Amino acid sequence: MWHSPPVRQAADQPSRRAFFGATAAVAAAGLTAGCGPEIAPTTIAPVPPTGRFQAGIVAPQEAQTNVLVVVADLEDGVAIGSLLAELGKAVQALTAGTDARLLGFPSGDLTVTIGIGPRLVRMVDPALPGAVDLPEFAHEQIPPQARGGDLLMQICANDVMIPPIAAAALLDHTSNRLRERWRQSGHRGSTIPVDQGRTAPRNLFGFTDGIVGPHTTAQQQQNLWLPGPSPVADGTIAVIRRMNLDLPRFAALPIPVQEEIFGRRRETGEPLSGGTIATDPNLNAKTPDGRYRIPADAHIRRAHPTTAGVNLMLRRSYSVNDPAPGLLFISFQNDIQTFTKTLTHMTNGDALLSFTTTTATAPFLILPGFDDTRPLGSTLFHT
C-alpha cells in the first residue's frame, strides 16, 4: 500500500515513533494472523547476507513465504555511500540476530536485498545499467507517489512477523535520511512441485506463477547477473510492480476459458500443448482442426521469451490483499529491455492483462554483493 511521505518533526523523535509504532502494529497483527503455518525457529536455516551476490534473489533457492518491499527517496544532501555502507552493516546484524530491534524474534531465514533507483545510478554514470526509468504502459493507474523511487529494500522471511520488524529497524537506522514513498507486503500461496526440488506458487487466479526462468547457474550467468562494467558487475536489474486483479470477473469464466487465457491447466500447471508443468510450452502445437493448442492471446505465449525476442527473467510473484486483491510482481534480469519488451509484447495482445491494473511500479539496480572488506555500494559510491 502506498503512503504519503511522513511529516518530519524536530530532533530524533520521528524515527523512534515510527519504529515503535511499526512494531506495535506488528504485535497487534500477530494477535490476528494465526492462519499461516507455524515454523519452529530451529528448523529455519539462516541465509548468509554477504558474498558475490546479494541474498534474496537466488538464495535461498526456494523463495520465502513472505515479502515486504519498501521504496524510499533520499533526503537532500545525504551521503549515499555512507548510507549504503551502514545499511549493509545493519543487514548483517539483523540477519545474524544480534540487532536488539528484532525485539527477541529469531531472524531465521531473513534476507534483505538493497537496490538503488535510476536517479542515483545516473549520478554515477548515465550509461550504467539501471539508469533508465520505466516508460508508462497500458493498464496502469499509478499515482505519482507510487512510481519510481531512490532506494529499494526487499525483505523476505518465512516468519510473517520478521519483514515489518526488520523494515522498522532499517528505517530507524537511517533516521531522517530516507523518506518512504510506498510499501507492499505479499505472500506466496500454496505451491506446486516443478522439478529438481523447485516449486512454484499459485496466484489469486488459481494458476501457477514463475515456472519459466533462469534456474540453472549457467542460465543465471547469462540472463540474470550483470557482467559489467565493474561498478555494477554481479548486480542485477529489478522491476517491481503491484497489480490489482479483477477476481470476480475472472472467476465467473468457465475453467476451460480461464485455462485458455493463461495457456496452462489450472490444476496441474502443465501447458495446453501437453507435457508436465516443467515442460517448455510448444507454441507451434495445433489441434486436428488447425487451431493453436495455446491460443494466440494466451499469457504464456505473449510473455514467452521466444515470442517477445528477449532473454529469460527470474520472476517472483506474491499475492496481496491490501489495498485490494492482487499481485506483487518482482522480476530480475540483466537487461531492462528483457522486461520492457516483454510487457510491450503482452500489451499488444495478452488476454490476461484485461483482468489486471498496475497501481505501483519502479525499477532498481540491485547492488553487487558485499562483505566486511567491501561495503554495500562501495563499487559505485565513496563512503
Which string of DSSP letters, residue by residue, matches 290-348?
Answer: S-BSS-TT-HHHHT-HHHHT----EEEEEEE-SSSSEEEEEEEESSHHHHHHHHHHHHT
Nine cell digits for residue 349? 495482445
| Whole-structure pTM value | 0.89
**Residue pointed to by grid coordinates 534476507:** 111
pLDDT tens, N- to C-terminus, the chain (383 residues)? 444 343 333 333 344 444 444 444 444 444 433 444 444 444 689 999 999 999 999 999 899 999 999 999 999 999 999 999 999 999 999 999 999 999 999 999 999 999 999 999 999 999 999 999 999 999 999 999 999 999 999 999 999 999 999 999 999 989 899 999 999 999 998 889 998 888 999 999 999 998 999 999 999 999 999 999 999 999 999 999 999 999 999 999 999 999 999 999 999 999 999 999 999 999 999 999 999 999 999 999 999 999 999 999 999 999 999 889 999 999 999 999 999 999 999 999 999 999 999 999 999 999 999 999 999 999 999 88
In eight-state DSSP terms, residue 100 is G
Whether omega before 41 lies within 30 degrees of 0, making that bond cis, reads no
Distance CA 314, CA 331 (A): 5
Residue 35: CB atoms within 10 A of its CB come to 6
The continuous run of DSSP H or E covering 198 comes out as: strand 198-201
Q: CA triplet 290, 293, 296: central angle to 5 degrees?
A: 90
Domain spans in the chain, listed from the N-terminal domain onward: 18-26+45-366
**Residue pointed to by grid coordinates 503482452:** 346
Q: Which residues pair with 111 in a beta bridge?
A: 156
CATH of domain 18-26+45-366: 3.30.70.1030
